[in-house]
Structure 1
Amino acid sequence: MRVALHQPHYLPWLGLLDKIDRCDLFVVLDHVQFERRGWQHRNYVASKNGPILLTVPVVQRSRDERIMDKAVSNGSPWWERHSRTLEQNCYRRAPFWEEFGAGITAIYERRWERLVDLSMATTEFVLNAFGITTPVVRSSELGEFTAQKSELIAQISAKAGATTMLSGEGARDYLDPEVFQRYGIEIEWQDFRHPEYPQHNRRGQEFLPRMAAVDLLLNVGPEGMDLVRAARTAS
């Protein structure tokens, strides 16, 4: 039973989709602390002039706020700018905009109150579009967890029934394998390799990696996930 865990991301990138695609269950860490200036409320999309950062404004109450409690600041129509940027500035002429554009713009027709719900909507959209059927559960639905760092991740993984926990390379510096061994869980490292693919508005220019996963979807279509899997197999 391979389980992966990660905080919810707005417009998730391919590395997160690869992790979800490779596991038997994905746990969204929504009960942990919100990271200011992190990727939980922003990501890049590709334009002909380079990457554009889309940021969802949030209400600042406390530094200790959990992601699940983080409110979206709807005082100004940020959703109009995001929707307009995606369609008019980036992907209106992309090969698969006609197929998936309406689904993307529909996300911005709703007024989101909680950041986690918006992030999950963008994640579920790309998962469905790419045909990724991995079950997804929120950590807040699994119970109360008061541990920190490795102990926290190990406890959640054990509660989810994991025998293996798939982790990104960035966690090597702080995850303690001995803690996971106590719970009978092995750590497997993701070692994500980013594929290159045609970006319709970047012809003749340098490829832009690490964009939101909608970039691959709108440029290549649902079969684009095969490129991610092929890069994984080659590595």
Structure 2
Amino acid sequence: MALVVYAGVGWGGLWIISSKLSKVENILLSTTYFGPVQWYQKLHRAKSVQIEQWENFSKQTYRNRCLIATTNGVQTLTVPVEHGDSLLIKDIRISDHGNWRHLHWNALKSAYGESPFFEYYQDDIRPFFEQRWTFLLDFNEAIRQKICELIDIQPVVSLTEMYMPDVSEKDYRETIRPKHPVSDSDFLLKPYYQVYKEKYGFLPNLSILDLLMNMGPEGIYYL
């Protein structure tokens, strides 16, 4: 397959990134809350993507949590849900417990307020913490659509019409997860500029917000 090489000078200095010219496969993903860079790389590189809505909700996954870089290291932001056990992901309702919207937005401001692109993107991201969604899947899909707009990718995405236990597409529903992730040789990430890089070194595969706030329009070249 043909390759194209992008090169230039950005916030992280000289970068050289190879990207495939043509899409490579049809894939299956779980829904995510401001999903990790790996998830968005899959989204960007696939011919088409199905997002699973008929699976049972799984706790402690990216379905309702994301990871961000803070002055104290990596922090987990979790969206509380109502009665998640044994419910289909499409039926999971967001809980208003604990004033989480306010806490998440304040955490993002604290973490990325000094990043190069926070002021540029904050008006696009803030509404997700001011409005209320009933269902987690709808909330995540609204986030996905906005993030795709901001990083300028146009994936072909649909929701599954039934649960897919055996699929011909590449199945990443349980591969991309915060704890004990499955090895993924297709996931290649070049280190990029991060606000706390001198303190912690490069922190890989955080929320797409980390890439967006630190690299801005150049973020697409890391997907």
TM-score greater than 0.5 by the shorter chain: yes
Which one has a larger percent strand, Structure 1 or Structure 2?
Answer: 2
How many residue pairs get aligned? The number is 192
Q: CA RMSD in A?
A: 2.1
What TM-score do you get using the length of structure 2 for normalisation?
0.79
What residue number does 1:48 align with?
71
In structure 1, how many angstroms separate the alpha carbons of the residues matched to 2:34 and 2:87?
Answer: 21
Q: Is structure 2 residue 113 aligned with structure 1 residue 84?
A: no
CA contact (8 A) 1:10 1:122 kept: yes
Q: Which ranges in structure 2 are unaligned for 5 or more consecutive residues? A: 1-23, 176-183
CA deviation after TM superposition for structure 1 residue 227, in Å: 2.6
Q: Which ranges in structure 1 are unaligned for 5 or more consecutive residues? A: 155-164, 172-188, 229-235
What residue number does 2:152 align with?
131
What residue number does 1:232 align with?
none
What residue number does 2:210 align with?
215
What residue number does 2:94 align with?
72
Which one has a larger percent helix, Structure 1 or Structure 2?
Answer: 1
CA contact (8 A) 2:26 2:47 kept: yes
Which one of 34, 47, 59 corresponds to residue 57 of structure 2?
A: 34
Evaluate the alpha carbon distance shift between residue 64 and residue 204 of structure 1 in structure 2; reply closer, same or farther with a 3 A threshold: closer
CA contact (8 A) 2:80 2:96 kept: yes
Runs (4+) of structure 1 exceeding 6 A deviation are: none
CA deviation after TM superposition for structure 1 residue 194, in Å: 2.3
What TM-score do you get using the length of structure 1 for normalisation?
0.75
- 1:139-150 aligned within 5 A: 139=160, 143-145=161-163, 149-150=165-166
In structure 2, how many angstroms separate the alpha carbons of the residues matched to 1:170 and 1:65?
Answer: 17
In structure 2, how many angstroms separate the alpha carbons of the residues matched to 1:72 and 1:170?
Answer: 22
Post-superposition CA distance 1:100-159 (Å, at most 9, x none): 1111111111012111111112222221111110121111xxx345xx632xx34xxxxx
Post-superposition CA distance 1:189-219 (Å, at most 9, x none): 8610122111123334311112101101110
Q: Secondary structure at the match of 2:148?
A: helix
CA contact (8 A) 1:95 1:220 kept: yes
CA deviation after TM superposition for structure 1 residue 28, in Å: 0.9
CA contact (8 A) 2:29 2:50 kept: yes
Which one of 105, 116, 134 corresponds to residue 113 of structure 1?
A: 134
CA contact (8 A) 1:23 1:166 kept: no
Which one of 3, 28, 32 corresponds to residue 9 of structure 1?
A: 32
Identical-residue share of aligned pairs (%): 25
What residue number does 2:12 align with?
none
Evaluate the alpha carbon distance shift between residue 15 and residue 115 of structure 1 in structure 2; reply closer, same or farther with a 3 A threshold: same
Which one of 168, 192, 201 corresponds to residue 197 of structure 1?
A: 192
